[in-house]
Amino acid sequence: MSELKQKLKEQIIEQLNLVEVKPSDIQDNQPLFGSELGLDSIDALEFIVLLDSKYGLKIDDPAKGKEIFNSINSLAAFIEANQK
């Protein structure tokens, strides 16, 4: 699980071009939106692309993404629970 979380942080930084952010700057339980990361609605859609391309998980309704993308913890839990 902690390996997955580390990997997620790296992938998020790459996918969202967070050039000045290091993986260690993102706390596992930190809210990803509305925090100093400065993520917006387009970034939320990029999360959907990331889950699809890297983990083969599809989200059809962006509204459902809200809870999943809340934090690294919730993202990792979603991937663990749904990946075959």
Binding stretches for another protein (CB under 8 A): 16-20, 38, 40-43, 45-46, 48-49, 52-53, 61-62
Cβ-based nearer residue to another protein, 51 or 72 = 51
Interhelix angle for 72-82 vs 41-55, to 10°?
Answer: 30
Shortest reach from residue 2's CB to another protein, in Å: 27
Number of alpha helices (DSSP H) and beta strands (DSSP E) in the chain: 4, 0
Shortest reach from residue 8's CB to another protein, in Å: 17
Residue with tokens 């609605």: 41
Cβ-based nearer residue to another protein, 57 or 73 = 57
Q: How far apart are CA 62 and CA 9, in angstroms?
A: 20
Shortest reach from residue 36's CB to another protein, in Å: 9
Cβ-based nearer residue to another protein, 3 or 61 = 61
| Spatial CB neighbours of 17, under 8 Å, sequence gap ≥ 6 | none
